[in-house]
Amino acid sequence: MKPKKVWVEKAKKNAALEAVKHVKDDFVIGLGSGSTVAYAIEEIGNRTKREGLRVLGVPTSYQAFMSAVEREIPITTLEEHPVLDLTIDGADQIDEELNLIKGMGGALTREKIVANASKELIIVADENKKVKVLGENNHPIPIEVIPFAAKPVMHKIKEMGGTPVLRESGGKVGPVITDNGNVIIDANFGLLQNPTELELKLKSIPGIVETGLFIKMADVVYIGKPDYTEKIERKK
């Protein structure tokens, strides 16, 4: 067995390369965030140079914006293109129905807006992201919250049986502030037997902007494994 770090990076890259094969000339593409999508953005950039592929990208975060600029992918906005052809994004957990937990990179709100504006959402990930039930291994749900509401939202989450933690910044003192000027609360609800119901309950709490639960949004998932890439399509 190869050392984990080596195969995981290769698996992420292979999954990303498969996703980029869906990109066609004149596509407007949502560019997701995270280390796996970074390989996809790199490959889109390579194809624009290699094949003269013409695309426009809508970045979901400052990170995605900077990667697109570095790869010389022309940028556009949802104002100019409210309907996108395709979004490629990563995920933190993927269940058997292709429901997702996203947002460990803190970009969940823009990611969900862009995914929802897209005709197709393709997710790229390595095998470690696959689970039977969302919430396995005590994985929390990232939730973007208006700072004014942080404490009451944490109180409500506790009342609902969750364990909320305000995400702290690794690079400065104080909380992580999202690209939208909000904070992130990571809420552990254990195993999510009914993620749809939980999503609805959370979205009804004033101050919650968005949750990292992406229910029935992914159309195709590419899972990079040590030796091959698995393609899974959502049953409709």
Considering beta carbons, is residue 18 or 92 the nearer one to ligand 5RP?
Answer: 92
* Residue 220, C-beta contacts closer than 8 angstroms, at least 6 positions apart: 19, 22, 120, 121, 122, 123, 231, 232, 233, 234
* Stretch (H or E) spanning 223: strand 220-224
Task: Give the three-class secondary structure for 158.
Answer: helix
Question: Annotated catalytic residue: which of 18, 111, 144, 199?
Answer: 111
Does residue 92 touch ligand 5RP according to CB under 6 A? yes
> Cα separations (Å) of 161 from 86, 156, 192?
36, 9, 12
Task: Give the three-class secondary structure for 224.
Answer: strand
Instruction: Kindly state the smallest distance separating residue 100's Cβ from ligand 5RP, in Å.
Output: 8
Does residue 57 touch ligand 5RP according to CB under 6 A? no
Considering beta carbons, is residue 16 or 198 the nearer one to ligand 5RP?
Answer: 16
Active-site residue 111, yes or no? yes
Does residue 95 touch ligand 5RP according to CB under 6 A? no
Instruction: Kindly state the smallest distance separating residue 99's Cβ from ligand 5RP, in Å.
Output: 14
For ligand 5RP, which residue of 106, 140, 207, 224 counts as binding (CB under 6 A)?
A: 106
The amino acid that residue 46 corresponds to is N
For ligand 5RP, which residue of 36, 87, 99, 118 counts as binding (CB under 6 A)?
A: 36
For ligand 5RP, which residue of 89, 144, 186, 199 counts as binding (CB under 6 A)?
A: 89
Output the six-digit token pair for 189: 């609800």
Does residue 33 touch ligand 5RP according to CB under 6 A? yes
For ligand 5RP, which residue of 30, 45, 59, 90 counts as binding (CB under 6 A)?
A: 90
Task: Give the three-class secondary structure for 133.
Answer: coil
Residue 133, phi then psi, degrees to nearest 5: -130, 135
Describe the crossing of helices 62-70 and 35-51 by its angle, rounded to 10 degrees: 30
Stretch that binds ligand 5RP, among 50-58, 88-96, 112-120, 189-197 (CB under 6 A): 88-96
Site for ligand 5RP, rule CB under 6 A = 32-36, 89-92, 102-108, 111
Q: Which residues are part of the catalytic machinery?
A: 111
